Structure 1
Amino acid sequence: MLIIVVTISTFVVLFTTIMRRHSFPLVLSAMNVANLLHVSCIVLYIAIMGGLASRDVRLLFLNERIMRWMHQLPVNLYHLGYLTSVSRLMVPCFLVMTALALSMNRYIRDQRRKIYLFAVAPTLLLALLYYPDIYKWMIYRQIHMLSLLVRCSFAWIVAELLVSLGILLYEYYEISIPVFRKNFLYILIAIVSQMLVYLIFATKDPAQIYNLFITEYLNLGISNYISPSLSSTGWDILILLVIVGALIGAWGIVRYEHFQYSEEREYAVLEKQFSAADMGISVFAHSMKNQILSAQVLHKRMRRELRKDKPDLRQLKDYEEEMARLNDSMKAHIDEYYATINSKHLILALTNAREVADAAISKFYEKYPGVSIRRDFQTGNRVLVDFSLFSEAIYNLLVNACEATAGIEGPARISLTIRAERMWVVFAVTDNGIGVPDKMRRKIFQPFLTSKSKDSSWGMGLFYTNRIVRQHMGHLRMESKSGEGSTFMILLPALTAGRKPEMRAAGKKEGN
C-alpha cells in the first residue's frame, strides 16, 4: 500500500518533468525516485525478514501473498543495504537542490554553487563509506567507527533537511502576490508529503541490513526496520497521514502543472486573438464607419437647423459638442490601433523604475488633472524597458483605475506602488472602484472586451497593455473583488546588480 502511494506520487512528478523540462521538476523527480527506491528497499527487507503483525502486513503489502512473493526473491542483502544507504542519503541532497531551484532570493542564487557543494560532497563521502567492502573493512578494523558513521550520517541528513526547510519557508513568506503564493503552496504540499514518507524510516540506519546482530550496533539504541518504535496505533496513524499526505501532494503537483499549462494556453490563445486583431482591419473599418455615419447624421441636422430663418443656437451648440466628441473618439481609436501595430517593435534601454512610473503619472495628469494618485515607490531598481511603450502600459492601467472609480460613492483612491518581489520588480496599480465582475475575470485581457459603450471604448486597453508587458518578458496579474476594487500588477525581471545587460533592440520603431 505504502509503495503504491509513493509510486503514484513519483509518476505524477515525472509526468510534470516531461511536460515542463526545467530544473525544478527535474530535481523534484530525482528526489521522488530516490525516496521511492529508499522505501522499496526497506519494504523488501522487511518482507525478507518477516515477523510483522497482520495489520502491518496490510499497510505495507496490501495482503500476505505479496509479502510471501517478495520474501522468496533472491536478493543479496549487501546490495540491498547499499541501495538503501545511498537512497537514504540522496533524498535530502535532492531536497536541497529542489529548494535552490525554487528560490529566487538573490543572495541564495548567488551562493548556489557553494550550497550545492555543501549538499553533494558530504553525501558522496558518506555513500562511499557505506559501500559494503569499505564499510566492513572500516568497522572490523575500528569498531568505534560504527557509532561515528551512524551519528554523522544522521546529523548530516538533519542538517540538509533544516537548510531546505529554511529556504522553502523563507521563500514562501517572501511571496506577497496571492496567485504565486498559492502556486508555491501546492509545491510545498507535494514536498512535505514525500518527507513524511521519508522520515518514517530515515531515523533508522541502513547499516543494520549488513550487520543487524552485531552487539555494538544493538548497543547504539537504534530501532530496526522490523520493530518500529511506535505503538500499533501510532504506526497506523503515521501510515494514514503518509498516505493522505502523498495523495494531497500528488494532487498539488497536478494543480501546479494545470496552473502553468492553463497560463501558457491562455497566452497562446491571446496571441492568436491578437494576430486576428492585427488582421482585423474590417472590424476597425466597420467601427469607424458607424461613427462616421453618426457624424453625417449630425451634419445633416446642423444643415437643416442652419437653413431655418431663426436657427436654435442652443441646439446647434449641442450638435457641435456631439460632433467634437465623435471626432475625439475616432482619433483615439485611430491612435490606439496605430499603437497596437507599432507595439511589435521595441527599443530597450536601462531605466530607473521610478522614472518610467513618473512619466506615466505625468501623462495621466494631462488627461485627468483633478485626480490624485498616491505614490509608494519602495525601490529604485533599474529595469530594461522601451521607455515610451512601458510608460504607456502603466498609463493605461492608471486610466483603467480612474474609470473604475468614476461611479463610486465617496472619494476615489488610486495608488501606484513599485516594490521588489523576489526576482521581479512589481508595478502595482490599485483602486477602490467597482472591481471586475466574476464573469469577466478569466477573459479580462481579451481584445474588444469592455463593459462600457462601444462608442467610447473598444476594449483594447488591457489587451494592449498585456502585450507590451509580455514583450518585456514580464507578466500582468490581476486581483479583484467586486465592489471593493482591483489591483493590476506588472512583474518585470529584476536586473542582478553588477551585471551589464545586453542592450539589444527587439526591432526599430517606425516613424510617425
Structure 2
Amino acid sequence: MLLLVITIIMLVSLFLPFIKRRRSTYLLVGLTTSLFIFWIGILTYIAKKGGFDKNLLWILFGSNAVRLKLQYLSITLGKLGYTIALGRYLFPTFLVLLASEYSHFPLAEKIKKYWWSLFIIPFCTLIVYIPKLFEKIINALPLALEVIVKFSSFWILSYLVLTIYIVIKEAILITMPFFRRRFTSKMCLLLSLAFLYALYSPQDPAQVYLFYRNDYMWMLGLWYLQKGFNLPFYTFVVIASIITASFGLWAMLKYTQIGWDDRHEEISLDRAAKGAQTGINMFSHGIKNELLANRILYTKLEALIKEDKDKETLLNSLTQLEQKNEALLSRIERLYLSSKHTQVVLSPNSLQSVVKIACDKFYAKYPKGEIENLVDDDLIVLCDKEHLSEALYNVIANGYECSHSPVKLFVNTERLWTNIVVKDSGPGIPKKMQKKIYTPFVSSKNSALNWGMGLYYSRDVVKS
C-alpha cells in the first residue's frame, strides 16, 4: 500500500518537468526519488529480516508477491545499507532546497543563493557511510559508531525543523489570496512527505551494515516493528503512515493539476491565436490599405471644400469622419501587432509612468470617463513599458465599457510580486464566459470596434 503510493508520487513528479521546466520541478523529482530509494531500501530490509506482524504486510508491501520478491532479492548488506543511506541523507537536503525555492523571505533567498552549502554535511556523511570505509572507522575507533549515528540523526532533524520553519513562515507572510491558494498545495506536499519520512528516518544504515554483529545497532534497527511496543503505538504508526502518504499523493496530484491546467490553457490559446494569425494579417492589411486610401481622399475633399466658404458644416463633418478613420486605423494597427509574437524587453520602470500612458490612451477614447488612480508614485517594476501600458489600457477599457462608471486602480505588493488591480462596478463576468475571455476573437460586446483580442493580448504580455 505505502510502496504503491510512494511509487505513484515519484512517477507523477517525473512527469512534471515535461509540463514546467523549472528548478523547483527538478528539485521535486530529486525529493520524491530519494524518498522512493529510502523506502525501497527499508522495505527490502524488512522483508529479509522477517518476524513482523502479518497485518502489516498489506500496509507495507501491498501484496505478498512484492514481499517475496524483495525478500529474495540478491543484494549484499553493504549495498542495501548504502541504498538506505542515499535516500536517508539526500531527502532532507532536497526538502530544504525545495521549501526555500517556494519561499521568498530573506533566509530562503540566502539558502537559494548558497544552495551548495546544504550538500556539504550530507556529502561528507555519505562518504563516511561507504561500507568499507565505515567498517574501518568503527573497527579503529569503537566510540565513533555512536558519534556517527547520533550526529547524522541530529543534522537530519535540524533539516526537517528548518523546512517546517520556512514553510510555515512563508505561509504566514503571504497575504494575497491568489498566492496563498497556490502555496497551499506546495505546503501540504512538503509537510506530508516530511512527516512520512520522519516516521522512518531513525532507521540508520549502520544497523544494516552490522546486522548480527552489534547489540547497540540491533536496538536501533526497525524501531517501529520491535516487540516492545504496544498495539496503540503500532496503530498510530500505521494510521499516520497511511494518512501522510495519501495526503502527499493528493497534494502531488493537486500541484500537478495546477501546472497541467496552466500549461493546457496556454497551449490552447496559442493554437487558437496561431490558427487565426494568417486571417488576422490578411484582414488587417487589407483594411489598413483601404483606410490609407481614404486618408488621401479626405485630403482632396478638404482642399475642394475649403474653396467654398459656405461648406463649413461639411468641413466639420469631414473632420469627424477623418478622426474616426484615424481611430479605426490605430485599432487595426494594434490588432495586427497583437496577433504577432513581438519581443518583450524588460527594464526597471516607474509603475506610475506605465499607468499614465494607459490612462492617456483611455481618456483619448473616453474623454468623459473617470479613473481613480491610487497607485504609489515610488513603485518600480520590471516590465516592458510599451506592452504593459497597452495591456493595462485594455483591462481599464473593458472595465469601463461594462459599467460606464469610474474605474479604480490600486496595487497590492507581495515581496517579489506586484499585483495591479483594476476595479469596476460592473455586473461581473458570466460563468459561461469566464473560461473564454482570453480566447482570441471572443467578446461579449456587440460592437464593431471590439474584436476580442484585447484580453488575449493583455494575458500574453503579463505571462511574458
Given the two structures, how large is their TM-score scaled by the length of structure 2?
Answer: 0.80
Question: Match for residue 333 of structure 2?
Answer: 338
Name the SS of the counterpart of 2:423 in structure 1.
strand
Deviations 1:104-155 (A, max 9, x none): 55774465242431x1000011112222223223223333322322221112
Give the % identical residues: 24
What is the CA distance between 1:275 and its match in structure 2? 1.3
Amino acid of the residue matched to residue 156 of structure 1?
W
> Is the CA contact 1:354–1:380 (under 8 Å) kept in the aligned structure 2?
yes
* Matching of residues 376-455 of structure 1 within 5 Å: 376-377=375-376, 380-387=379-386, 389-406=387-404, 412=405, 414-455=407-448
Quick check: 1:2–1:60 contact (8 Å CA) kept in 2? yes
Q: What SS does the aligned partner of 1:70 have?
A: helix
Aligned-pair distance for 1:357? 1.4
Contact 1:86 1:127 in 2 (8 A): yes
Q: Which AA in structure 1 matches 2:155?
A: W
Question: Which amino acid in the other structure matches residue 5 of structure 1?
Answer: V
**Residue of 240, 254, 257 corresponding to 2:256:** 254
The offset of 1:84, in angstroms, is 0.8
**1:465 corresponds to which residue?**
458
For residue 73 of structure 1, what is the aligned residue in structure 2? 73
SS in 1 for 2:223: coil
Question: Following superposition of structure 1 onto structure 2, how do residues 131-150 of structure 1 map, counting pairs within 5 Å?
Answer: 131-150=130-149
SS of 1:458 mapped into structure 2: coil
Q: From the superposition, tell whether residues 160 and 236 of structure 1 become closer, same or farther in structure 2 (CA, over 3 Å).
A: closer
- Contact 1:329-1:456 within 8 A present in 2 as well: no
**Are the structure 2 counterparts of residues 240 and 346 from structure 1 closer, same or farther at C-alpha, using a change threshold of 3 Å?**
closer
Q: Retained in 2: the 8 A contact 1:396–1:462?
A: yes
Higher mean C-alpha deviation, range 90-99 or range 127-136: 127-136
1:86 corresponds to: 86
Instruction: Tell me what 1:32 maps to.
Output: 32
- Look up the match of 2:237: 235
Change (3 A) 1:459 1:342: closer
Change (3 A) 1:175 1:335: farther
One-letter amino acid of the counterpart of residue 233, structure 1: T
- Within a 5 Å distance, the mapping from 1:90-239 to structure 2 comes to 90-104=90-104, 108-109=108-109, 111-117=111-117, 119-175=118-174, 178-212=177-211, 214-217=214-217, 224=223, 226-227=225-226, 231-239=233-241
Distance 1:168 1:280 in 2: 52
| More helix as a share of residues | 2
- Check the 8 A contact 2:192/2:244 in 1, yes or no: yes
Shift of 1:257: 3.4
Taking the aligned partners of 1:54 and 1:205, their CA distance within structure 2 comes to 24
Residue 269, structure 1, aligned to residue 267, structure 2? no
SS, match of residue 375 in structure 2: strand
Would you say the 8 A contact 1:359–1:391 is kept in 2? yes
Provide the rounded CA distance (Å) in 1 between the counterparts of 2:107 and 2:423.
30
Partner of 1:20: 20
Q: Distance in 2 between matches of 1:278 and 1:422?
A: 39
Give the aligned partner of residue 299 of structure 2. none
User: Within 2, Cα distance between the matches of 1:419 and 1:335?
Assistant: 32
Provide the rounded CA distance (Å) in 1 between the counterparts of 2:278 and 2:444: 21
In 1, Cα distance between equivalents of 2:344 and 2:181 = 35
- The alignment partner of 2:205 has SS state of coil
Counterpart CA distance in 1 for 2:18 and 2:399 is 41
Residue identity in the other structure for 2:124: L
What SS class does the counterpart of residue 443 from structure 2 fall into?
Answer: coil
Structure 2: segments with no counterpart, 5+ residues: 295-312
Cα 1:276–1:256, aligned 2, differ >3 Å: closer, same or farther? same
- Structure 1 stretch displaced more, 22-31 or 348-357: 348-357
Q: Distance in 1 between matches of 2:2 and 2:111?
A: 37
Q: TM-score, normalised by structure 1?
A: 0.74
Distance in structure 1 (CA, Å) of the matches to 2:436 and 2:173: 29
Determine if contact 1:46/1:226 at 8 Å carries over to the other structure: no
Contact 1:41 1:84 in 2 (8 A): yes
Greater mean alpha carbon deviation, residues 98-107 or residues 202-211:
98-107
Cα deviations by residue, 1:402-438 (Å, 9 ceiling, x for unpaired): 22222xxxxx563222344454433221223211111
Does the 8 A contact of 1:9 with 1:249 survive in 2? no
Q: Write the letter of the residue equivalent to 1:247.
A: L
Paired with 1:341 and 1:283, the residues of 2 have a C-alpha distance of: 8
Query: Could you say what secondary structure the match of 2:194 adopts?
Result: helix
Amino acid at match of 2:440: P
What amino acid sits opposite 2:420 in the alignment? F
Shift of residue 94, structure 1, vs aligned partner: 1.4
1:354 corresponds in structure 2 to 352
Contact 1:415 1:429 in 2 (8 A): yes
Match of 2:301 in 1: none
Match of 2:114, SS state, is helix
Which secondary structure does the structure 2 equivalent of 1:207 belong to?
A: helix
Structure 2: which amino acid aligns with 1:462?
L
Q: Shift of the alpha carbon at 1:170?
A: 4.1
Equivalent residue letter for 1:41 = G
The separation in 2 between residues aligned to 1:42 and 1:145, in whole angstroms, is 24
Return the alpha-carbon distance in structure 2 between the equivalents of residues 175 and 328 of structure 1: 48
Unaligned 5+ segments in structure 1 are: 293-316, 407-411, 476-491, 493-512
- Identify if the C-alpha distance between structure 1 residues 350 and 193 changes in structure 2 by more than 3 Å, giving closer, same or farther: closer
Equivalent residue for 1:2?
Answer: 2
User: Aligned pair in 2 of structure 1 residues 402, 222: CA closer, same or farther (>3 Å)?
Assistant: same
Change (3 A) 1:259 1:378: farther
C-alpha change, 1:73 and 1:370, in structure 2 (3 Å) is closer
| Deviation (angstroms), 1:41 | 0.8
Secondary structure in 2 matching 1:415: strand
Counterpart secondary structure, 1:198: helix
Given that 1:204 and 1:225 are in contact with CA atoms closer than 8 Å, whether structure 2 keeps it comes out as no
Aligned-partner Cα distance in 2 for 1:321–1:401? 32
Counterparts in 2 of 1:108 and 1:247: CA distance versus 1, 3 Å:
closer
Equivalent AA in structure 2 for residue 192 of structure 1: L
Distance 1:91 1:110, change over 3 A: closer
**Displacement of 1:88 after TM fit?**
0.3
- Equivalent AA in structure 1 for residue 239 of structure 2: I
Q: Give 1:479's aligned residue.
A: none
Q: Secondary structure at the match of 2:374?
A: strand
